[in-house]
Structures are given as structure tokens and as C-alpha cells.
Structure 1
Amino acid sequence: MKAYIFPGQGAQFSGMGLDLYNNSPLAQELFDKANKILGFNITDIMFEGTADELKQTKVTQPAIFLHSVILAKVLGDDFKPEMVAGHSLGELSALVANDVLTFEDGLKLVSKRALAMQKACEVQESTMAAVLGLEDAVVEEICASVDGVVVAANYNCPGQLVISGEISAIDKACELLTEKGARRALKLPVGGAFHSPLMEPAREELAAAIEATIFSEPTCPVYQNVVAKAVTSPAEIKENLISQLTAPVRWTQCVQAMIADGGTEFVEVGPGKVLQGLMRKIDRSVAASGASFSA
């Protein structure tokens, strides 16, 4: 079975989407529509912006979503997913790709999600850290032993887990994890503690927007971050998407579930090759490639 996977924050680069805009009338129409929906010309920043401009939360999340979704749309008949999944933000791209959300509604939710997360980051100083070379259970145990908020946030691949929480708790956890033999426990240059209890204000804000949006029957199952299994019920999809902001991204488990359910070919749709790299670490025997568009 063919699985399409969609990247999350961190995959952005200057010039992203320009080839699509220049070579596809459909892409041009969708990018122009996106500028109107967002109320600013995100295409200017995507095509010519600096790394710092692209790093603004209100830009990063819609930019990655637009690149992924528009690429899927211009692939036309070549795009026939039998299962989909997205890493964090990428889950919204996956939901447009399997017809649960319209392009317009997906973009509006991504924009609200980005602004709500930005606001939650401003309430309390917080951060994330990448931990390499330890078993998940060891990382979870150490996080649980530290005073303050620090939790496992992204299960990216075996031996790579991102933790999230208050700065002092992250610092303490990194110190203990290094003592435990972590190859690296390194703070990330992010604005806040995504996928942790500190995102509760953003979860509440996004919940209202999700509840007010129509979710349709999917054309194929979506493997959601929160439950790491196939979901086809629009009501369940909504519920899991709301939980996602404060719950961990179980990416390793999502991919393993897709493989167990018959996924044999994985195609990353969007900027960069982050997910292809993680695929090789999760299961090297499964084919992973990037979607490409030729005019």
C-alpha cells in the first residue's frame, strides 16, 4: 500500500514553493487564494524571505502546510493515497490530502493553530530539547523524576526523542539524561514547549475553531499522532486533533502501525527530507522517497 506522509515545523527553506508557482496554474491560483485568506502575502516570504522571516510562527506553519498541500494537488491523478499521516502540523496537511478538510478550512485552522501556539509561548517561557541515544522508557522515567513540567513530546525514531517543558525543568532533565548516557541532550531553538501541558491555552483556543469546522469522511485512513493508529471517523479525527497540542507526537509508532497495516511505499509530500531520514531509522526495509512535480 502507498502511504503519503507530511512534514511539520522545521522543514521550511527560502524559495519553497516557487517552482510550483512558476510551473502550475493550479498552484498559482491556490497560492494567490492563500494570500487573501491569510491577509498578507505569505508567498513573498516563502519565495524570497530570509531564514529569520520564515521562522516566525505565523509564517512557518502555513508555509509548510501550503507547500505540502499544493504539491499534493498539482500531482493530480498521480496522487492516490491509501493511507496518510503527518508529523505534528503535517497532520492538517494530511487531512486536506484525504479530503477530510477543504483547502480553505485547513489553511484557516493552521493559521489559528500557529497564532494560538505563539500566544501560549508568550504566557510562560519554555522550550524543547532533543535527546539522542537513549531508550524511550529511560527518557520518560527521568522526565517524571524532575520537578516542574517536562514531558516526552516527539517520538521521532528509535533513539531520538524530543522533550518539552519549563526551561529549568528541561535544563535539569538534560543534565540527568547526559549522566544516564545520552549521546546528546541539546536544547532546540524553538519558542516554546510544544506538545506539552503548557500548550493548554492554545488547545482550548484551537478546540473552538475545530468544533466549528466541517470534517468530512476521509478517502483513506489517517494515522493520527495522538493514537498512532488508523482513524476514519470524522468525530474521532476532530477529538485527536484537539488533543494533539498537549499530547506527544507518536511518529515512530504511527509509521510502525502503517507498516503493520500493509504500508510498503512511503512518499514524503512537502519541503525537505526530514521524514524520509526518520523512515530509514524506523524501518530501513521500507521504500521512502519524496514527491516531485514536473511541469
Structure 2
Amino acid sequence: MGKIALIFSGQGAQYSGMGKALYDASPAAKAVFDLADSIREGTSAQCFEGAAGELNRTVNTQPCVFTADLAAAYAVKEAGIVPDCVAGFSLGEIAALAYAGILTDEEAFRLVCKRGELMDKAAKENPGAMVAVMKMTPAQVEEVCAGFDKTYPVNYNSPAQTVVATTSESADAFCEAVKAAGGRAKQLPVSGAFHSPFMADAAAGLADYMKDVDFKEPALPIYSDYTAKPYEGDYKELVRAQVENPVRWQTIVENMIAEGVDTFIEVGVGKTLTGLIKRIDENVAAFKAETPEDIAKIVNR
């Protein structure tokens, strides 16, 4: 039997009611929500009852999805499933930092709250858009981007899906250029152009905040979105750089598989990462762990 990787979901899959089933069923999950509420009052209420408009604001999305992610990860651990390595997509990487022991749960939650505030502020001061491009290779997407100013590939998700950040003014023309090149483009309902130079101020602010945060050695390998490799060197720089640079998800998954991972468990909200993994390598197993029923299926598989 191969290795198991826990993967922590990112922004975009949030919905009202997320995490409630695990909160009700798992003491380990409930403890995470209780911790979040003790630091940021109302976090659980936003997860369980928040309206879409409220949950979709980055300043709310990030702490809420973090809480749902880490709660699911600890519920999986409570069920006896022990991973060999972890990774998180965008804000999911902050929850992975807590699980791996680089930060305490409290330190990681405070960090993701600050990250959400800074990225929300940067998005308002440097407006942009994000477009998902399908049916084109990353190299083809990069070629289309080269024809536009301030347009960057920012999420290398799978062999046939790359997300691009651009200016609000260029988004429609970029989508048309993708179609003309034989691809399919869909503008995403997000509040900023994340993982791009549009987020430079947020990255700088996060670096300043982390000066007083104690980063420890991980208890198990955690893969960086910035390098697509296990954490090494300056951990704070990896967290800072991730904010204004592309998420190299496809390479992370390929590197994990090369190290013997054959089972991926997506903890938190939705099944976006599970779907991407199947497109990257159909020979590995990928499961979502969002509810008690999901976890029971994994345990009993």
C-alpha cells in the first residue's frame, strides 16, 4: 500500500452550512470551531448560516474555509487515518501548516485572518479579475497571456486547466482570445486577482506580520504552493511568496505521487481538488472528507 496525502481545500468552494455536520458529530472538529470563535467571534455562525455574499468576501472566506478544513482534517485523524504528507491549495496551505505543526492552531488561525484582511485590502486597492481556462495546455495559456498587459497564469491546476489573473478591463478580451485559440474561458466570481503581482502589498504586509510568529519544524512533509516541493529553508518566505506567485498544484500532486502517494484525501469544503487530481493522474485514489459519512466511507473502503 502506498502513502496517504491530506490536501486542504482553498477559496471558492465555500457555502452556507459548511462544517456543521462534522461539528455535530466530531469532538475534534468541534474543538477547531470553538477555537476559531474564541479568537474571531461569529466564525462558526458564518460557516453554518452565513449568506453567500457574506461568505464570499475574502476577509470572511479565509478564516471560515480554514476552520472547516482543519476541523475535517482532525476528524479524519480522530477516525484513525494518519497521512504521510500534506499540502493545501492557497489558503488551504495555512491549515496544512497547523496540521503539520509548523504553527499552532491558534497561530495559524490568526495568520489566516490577517492574510484575508490584507488580500481583501489589496484587491480593493488593485482591482483585478480571474479567469479559468480549460481545454488548453499551460504553455498555450502562457502564450495567450503574453498578448495582454498585466495578465498572469496563477493556478496551474491540471494539464487542461489553468487560472489566469488579469485586469478587470482586460477580462472580456482575454476570454475572447482564449476562445479564438481553441480553449474555453470562464470568469470566476472572486473579489481579486490572487497569486499575482496585484497582491504585492498583501505579501509585504504578511511578511511584516510574520516577523513575530514562531515557525517550528514540521512533524511531517508539507508541500509548498510556491515551490511545489516539501518545505525547506525560510518557511516565512514560502508563505509570503505564495500570496503573489502562482499555485503549482499539478506539480505538487505529481511530486507527491513520485514519492509514493497513491491516496489523496481532500479535507474541508467541496471536491475541487479531488476532481483535479483525477485529471492529473487517473491511477491514484482521491476522496473527499467533508462529512461524517465521507470519512466513514474512507475508513471502510
Which TM-score tier does this pair reach, normalised by the shorter chain?
A: over 0.9
Does structure 1 residue 279 correspond to structure 2 residue 277? Answer: yes
Aligned to 1:2, the other structure's residue is in SS state: strand
Q: Unaligned regions of 5+ residues in structure 2, if any?
A: 297-301
Structure 1: state its 5+ residue gaps: none
Aligned residues of 2:156 and 2:247 also touching (Cα < 8 A): yes
Matches within 5 A, 1:192-231: 192-231=192-231
Which string of whole-angstrom CA distances, capped at 9 and with x for unpartnered residues, describes residues 244-264 of structure 1? 111001101110110011111
Correspondence for 2:251 among 240, 250, 253: 253
Q: Match of 1:101?
A: 103
Equivalent residue of 2:131, what SS? Answer: strand
1:65 and 2:72 correspond? no
Q: Counterpart of 1:191 in structure 2: which amino acid?
A: S
* Whole-angstrom CA distance in 1 between matches of 2:9 and 2:42: 22
1:8-42 superposed Cα distances (whole Å, 9 cap, x missing partner): 0012121111122223344333322211212x311
Q: State the shift of 1:121 in Å.
A: 0.8
- Offset of 1:115 from its aligned partner? 0.6
Aligned twin of 1:116: 118
Residue correspondence of structure 1 range 65-214 to structure 2 within 5 A: 65-74=66-75, 75-76=77-78, 78-146=80-148, 148-182=149-183, 184-214=184-214
**Residue pair 2:62, 2:112 contacting (<8 A) in 1 also:** yes
Q: Which has the larger displacement, 12-21 or 23-32?
A: 23-32
Letter in 2 for 1:253: T
Aligned AA for 1:274?
T
Q: CA RMSD in A?
A: 1.6
Query: What code does the residue aligned with 1:199 have?
Result: M
1:211 Cα shift? Answer: 2.8
Confirm or deny: 8 A CA contact 2:32 2:70 kept in the other structure.
Answer: no
Q: Deviations over 1:14-73 (max 9, x none)?
A: 1111122223344333322211212x3111121122222211212211111111112222
The answer on 1:29 being equivalent to 2:27 is no
Question: Residues 241 and 293 (structure 1 numbering): CA distance in 2 closer, same or farther, change over 3 Å?
Answer: same
Scaled by the length of structure 2, the TM-score of the pair is: 0.91
1:262 to 2:247 alignment: no
Residue type at the aligned position of 2:16: S
Letter of the structure 1 residue corresponding to residue 241 of structure 2: S
Q: CA deviation at 1:175?
A: 2.2
Residues 81, 98 of structure 1: 8 Å contact kept: no
**Counterpart Cα distance in 2 of 1:37 and 1:141:** 45
Q: Is the partner of 2:175 in helix, strand or coil?
A: helix
Count of equivalent residues: 290
Which AA in structure 1 matches 2:218?
P
| Aligned counterparts of 2:283 and 2:44: Cα–Cα separation in 1 | 38
